[in-house]
Amino acid sequence: MSELLIRHGSDVHGTPLDLAVSGGQVVEHGDGPILDATGLYLLPGLLDLQVNGCAGIDITAEPTRLWEVGTALASHGVTAFVPTVITSSPAARDQALQTLTAGPPVGWLGAVPLGLHFEGPFISPARKGAHPAQWLRTPEVDLVTAWSRSAGVLMVTVAPELPGAIDLVRALTARGIIVSVGHTDASAAQVVEAVKAGARCLTHLGNAMPPLRPRQPGPVGAALGGSGLVAGVIADGHHHDPLFLSAVWRALGPRRFLTVSDTTAALGLADGPVRLGDQEVVVSDGTVRLADGTLAGSAASLTDCLRTLRHTTGCSLADAAATATSTAADLLGDSQRGRLDVGARGDVTLVDADLCVVATVVGGRVVYGRS
């Protein structure tokens, strides 16, 4: 870890802020190289809890390149992320866990992978979205005996209406894994049952789930109506109508609104074909879709999503930033990330007034600088 002084920046409220990092942590006073942040905002390091890939790399198809994705994400302001493996062969999940456990290559710098998100295979066939049907499985505790937070599995998406799902939610929760409700045809009552069993999050609210109806509120109604779920939201300008995004923001607020990119290998690429797991998808006009038009993740960065959130809802920079910093850290139970308090990790994202990334600092080390 390096020592660093970040001078002449501003916090999310526009108040002048100097920041010292020593030993990888924020300290009251420090010494070391100076990073001039004049005219810039200092955000706590951004956390993206749903990343399928980046820069032409798909984590499900190429799990051994997970650390390369972390390097590429740093240029988008991300300091830590949750690599996501969609519904796939068991071998893909195993290889991703092995790559994570082996650790980074010598000299590696980038956004830190915090643990894997297995988005499937325990999801609804009726709401599978871009997930390949041949790898879907009925929830069985015996299929996840090796899964635990200590083994590298941080989050699992489950459809709670499937037979055996509630027992699976309890088993995963007992092992420290965050269970997220998603790709589901569940009723609101079934979602509430999953919450009682330990589920704490909702995977990409409003997508791959039934619509909100007055007498059938479903997962969306369960989240907005006060179940306590933190809801992941892909605010890329394509997954939600602006009116829906504004309504969700008003209902959830920054403490339960979790901005995720759900970005794919398409991030940073020109329009054209790219991979998502076993399938070819097409990037066009900012969207990523299967051949039949189904949305298949995004081509947006986390800062793109925060920018869209601000422009759509009119929320403050402080509230927008919270959805990808403190809200994410609180969900993870990570008191060291998501804030710039003394004693926190020295992870900082420097942006200009348009939320364009100028520099990314991880553990007091500059891992990306635009200039």
Residue 72 pLDDT > 80: yes
What pLDDT is stored for residue 261 in this prediction? 97
Contact 186, 214 (CB under 8 A): no
Band of pLDDT at residue 3, cut at 50, 70 and 90: confident
How many angstroms separate the CA atoms of 85 and 60, rounded?
A: 5
Report CA-CA distances (Å) from 50 to 76, 78, 264.
14, 12, 9
Q: Give the list of residues 6+ apart from residue 97 with CB closer than 8 angstroms, or none.
A: 116, 151, 152, 153
Instruction: Give residue limits of the domains in the chain.
Output: 1-43+338-371, 46-336
- The mean pLDDT of the chain is 95
**Superfamily covering domain 46-336:** Metal-dependent hydrolases (3.20.20.140)
Instruction: Look up residue 30 and give its amino acid.
Output: G
Q: What is the DSSP string of 286-334?
A: TEEE-TTS-EEEES--HHHHHHHHHHHH---HHHHHHTTTHHHHHHHT-
pLDDT of residue 216: 96
Q: pLDDT tens digits for 142-166?
A: 999 999 999 999 999 999 999 999 9
Band of the pLDDT at 227, cuts 50, 70, 90? Answer: confident
Identify the helix (H) or strand (E) that includes residue 231.
Answer: strand 230-233
Q: What is the pLDDT of residue 73?
A: 98
Whole-number pLDDT of residue 285: 87
Reply yes or no on whether the pLDDT at 1 is more than 70. no
* Dihedral angle sign, alpha carbons of residues 339, 343, 345, 346: positive
User: Is-contact 72 97, C-beta < 8 A?
Assistant: no
Concerning whether 347 is annotated as a catalytic residue, the answer is no
- Per cent of the chain over pLDDT 70 is 100
Task: List C-alpha distances in Å: 213 to 195, 210, 219, 249, 355.
Answer: 20, 9, 10, 18, 35
Cα angle vertex 306, ends 301, 307, to 5°?
95
What tens digit of pLDDT does each residue of 89-109 get? 999 999 999 999 999 999 999
CA distance 62 to 76: 21
Whether residue 364 contacts residue 24, with contact meaning beta carbons closer than 8 Å, is answered with yes
Q: Which CATH number fits domain 1-43+338-371: 3.30.565.10, 3.60.15.10, 2.30.40.10, 1.10.150.20?
A: 2.30.40.10
pLDDT digit string (tens) for 9-50?
Answer: 999 999 999 999 999 999 988 888 999 999 999 999 999 999
The pLDDT tens digits for 176-208 are 999 999 999 999 999 999 999 999 999 999 999
Point out the least confidently predicted range of 69-78, 237-246, 276-285: 276-285
Query: Which has the closest alpha carbon to 259: 116, 81, 131?
Result: 81
**Catalytic residue, candidates 48, 185, 262, 330:** 262
